[in-house]
Amino acid sequence: MKRPWIRSFSLLVCLILAGCGATATPTTLPITSTIDANAGAASGTVTLWFHSGQGAERDALNATLQAFAAKNSAIKIEAIELPEGAYNDQVNAAALAGELPCLLDFDGPFVYNYAWSGYLQPLDSLIAAEVKADFLPSIIQQGTYNGKLYSLGQFDSGLGFYANKALLEKAGVRIPTLAQPWTRAELDQALSKLKANGLQYPLELKMNYGRGEWFSYGFSPFLQSFGGDLIDRSNYQKASGTLNGAASVEAMQWFQSLFTNGYVNPKPAGDTDFAEGKAALSWVGHWAYPDYAKALGADLLVLPAADLGKGAKTGMGSWNWGITSKCANPAAAAEVLSFIVSPEEVLRMSDANGAVPARTSAIAKSTLFGDGAPLNIYVQQLTNGVAVPRPITPAYPVITSAFAEAVDNIVAGADVQTELDKAAQKIDADIEDNQGYPVK
């Protein structure tokens, strides 16, 4: 009797089982680079994960890994690029399964949660003191948790105002300096003058980025400049009283007024209002510089953060690298990490993505960030205490999501005190659930 479907199905089963067996062997694709190198103290294989950032960033990292291969043959790198949009989730899932690689990169403020969770090992004994001394203080600050250094980055970020010189001059607005930044009154007045001069929305706050890390990174400096903060930094145990305290409420009321006064478009259609001359000011990070420089040319000004009452404050922090606690070969991983953060490679990356080089020796050689260079102001903000790290606590993921939600609602017109109360409660509940994140 004919049973062709049974035969076909059996064949299919065999084929699929064969297929599944075959895939268990690691496959090398163009973006999974396996690198053999020539000489070095440590040896062995180092597994490495990195996020797929901008194309130029990815190319720079691949070039770095190839340069490492050319210099060191004893260490083999197995690199896997993960999609950036899902990077943190994939890292968390891998950590849960105990399958983290030796070396990986992650966004700045996640380091505290990873370190507290025991995913990372301290780098203090693996990185030479003179190497550490060459890094920007902000990078060391970002990577330090509970007195130990857990991560090092190739670059930091810069945040400030970009301004259209012609439009400021036309409205008679003073050009601020790092020594004399705008005061709150001056900034309000400038916005009012610019609006009176015919600009529908004189300030751009990149609201098109949407709710996410940008809201915390970009807008928490306003809180801090008013004297408020996301959490009480004396012991990182409570947000109530700080995030919903008088200074923070005043800051967010001022922030809300930017929208109610019509200075900022809450729902911009695109990313180009400033570049097209529809806005005179843009509050955004270093990454906007290439497009703005192209669009405005000599009219582009890079200005410091304003002093809204308690000193000018700005953000800092970016992607950085850490070695995982389960890494079987930390010496080899440290050698790879040292190479990745060497001045030449830092400069290679900074040239590719336009971010602030993490090392002073690299900054000196940078055409964008060196003395007198157009973006040197970011270096000064990072070294002169204007830049504030995001809260150094494992609760950061909850802090950032609660604050971003509050910002979203405040922009939509919700009551500031109610929203900040809600956010503070959410953060406090998380800290309480984790018994205050005791240091293990």
Partner 1 sequence: MQRPAIEPTKRWQKSPRRFGSYLLMTIIALFSLFPIVFMLVTALKADEGQILREMSTFAAFLPTGELSLQNFRDVFERVPFAQYLINSGLIALTIVLFGLVVNSLIAYALARMQFRGQKLLLAIIVALIIIPFQAVAVPLLLIVNQLPWFDGRMTWLDSYHVQIIPFIADAFSIFLFYQFFLNIPKDIEEAALVDGASRFRMYAQIIVPLSRPVFATVAILQFLTHWGDFLWPLMVVRNPAVRPLTVGMQAFFGQMPRQWGDIMAFATMVTLPVLIIFLLFQKWFVQSVASSGVKG
Beta strands 155-156 and 159-164, pairing class? unpaired
Name which of residues 214 to 253 contact partner 1 (CB under 8 A).
Answer: 214
Identify which of residues 13 and 39 has a Cβ nearer to partner 1 in the complex.
Answer: 13
The nearer residue to partner 1, 129 or 269, going by C-beta atoms, is: 269
Q: Do the beta carbons of residue 204 and residue 279 sit within 8 Å? A: yes
Asked if 274 and 366 count as a contact pair (C-beta separation under 8 A), the reply is no
Smallest separation, CB 176 to partner 1 (Å): 25
Write the DSSP string, 80-103. Answer: EEEEGGGHHHHHHHHHHTT---SE
Place of tokens 């990182």: 236
59: contact with partner 1 by CB under 8 A: no
Q: Does 45 bind partner 1 (CB under 8 A)?
A: no
Min. distance of Cβ 319 from partner 1 in angstroms?
A: 10
- Among 11, 70, 93, 196, contact with partner 1 (rule: CB under 8 A): 93
Among 11, 86, 175, 364, binds partner 1 (CB under 8 A): 86
* Residue whose tokens read 């720079």: 60
Looking at beta carbons only, is 97 or 179 nearer to partner 1? 97
Nearest to 264 by CA among 340, 172, 368, 194: 194
Determine contact, residues 391/109, Cβ cutoff 8 Å: yes
Q: Which CB sits closer to partner 1, 30 or 147? A: 30
Nearest approach, Cβ of 23 to partner 1 (angstroms)?
Answer: 5
Cβ at position 99, least distance to partner 1 in Å: 6
Helices marked H in 72-152 — which ranges?
87-96, 110-116, 129-133, 137-143
Least CB distance to partner 1 at residue 276 (A): 9
Q: Does 351 help bind partner 1 (rule: CB under 8 A)?
A: no
Q: Is 56 in the site for partner 1 (CB under 8 A)?
A: no
Q: Which helix (H) or strand (E) holds 286?
A: none
The answer to whether 280 touches 163, Cβ cutoff 8 Å, is yes
34's tokens: 């396996």
Question: Residue 27 interacts with partner 1 (CB under 8 A)?
Answer: yes
CB 302 within 8 A of CB 356: no
CA 204/CA 265 separation, integer angstroms: 7
Residues 281-340 contacting partner 1, CB under 8 A: 287
Phi, psi of 159 (to 5 degrees): -135, 135
User: Toward partner 1, which CB reaches closer, 9 or 169?
Assistant: 9
Complex with partner 1: residue 96 or 246, whichever CB lies closer: 96
Are 394 and 239 a contacting pair, CB within 8 Å?
no
Residues that bind partner 1 (rule: CB under 8 A) add up to a total of 52
CA dist., res. 361 & res. 359, Å (int)? 5
Q: How far is the CB of 355 from partner 1 (least distance, A)?
A: 11
Residue 90 binds to partner 1 (criterion: CB under 8 A): yes
Q: Which residues make up the interface to partner 1 (CB under 8 A)? A: 3, 5-6, 9, 12-13, 16-17, 19-21, 23-27, 29-32, 49, 51-55, 80-87, 89-90, 93-94, 96-99, 206, 208-209, 214, 267, 269-272, 287
